[in-house]
Amino acid sequence: MDTKQKTEEYGCPVARTADLISNKWTPLIIRDLARRQMRFSELERSLKGISPKTLSERLKRLEESAVIERTCYAEVPPRVEYQLTEKGHALLPIIDTMRDFGTVWLPDESC
């Protein structure tokens, strides 16, 4: 699909970016992987409330979109780790801006 067709099908670059990161968990996964590569179980623990099924689906979509890469190690038991790609790192300013906005405009009442 050429760029013009993709733009017509998915909208402008803002719409395509929003489509990529628009669910609740994706920005949080990117935030956590910004620190270091992580295993599935580590991500699951850091993302309180996410179901294993949802995490698996989000990781698969991010891998298909080349935002993260999955590395399998031939060990017993098998070890799989996830890390951000260059494309994933390019999303970090957006995540940082979301954090800044939330800090200023959406203060946590429980703090």
Q: How far is it, in rounded angstroms, from Cα 93 to Cα 84?
A: 14
pLDDT band at 4 (very low <50, low <70, confident <90, very high): low
What would be the CATH architecture of the domain defined by 3-100? Orthogonal Bundle (1.10)
Residue 5 has pLDDT above 60, yes or no: no
pLDDT at 107: 82
- Sign of the CA dihedral running 93, 97, 98, 100: positive
Query: What ranges make up the beta strands (E) of 1-95?
Result: 38-39, 68-73, 79-84
Domain ranges for the chain, please list them: 3-100
Pairing mode of beta strands 79-84, 68-73 = antiparallel
Better-predicted residue by pLDDT, 68 or 111: 68
Least confident of 15-19, 37-41, 93-97: 15-19
pLDDT band at 111 (very low <50, low <70, confident <90, very high): very low
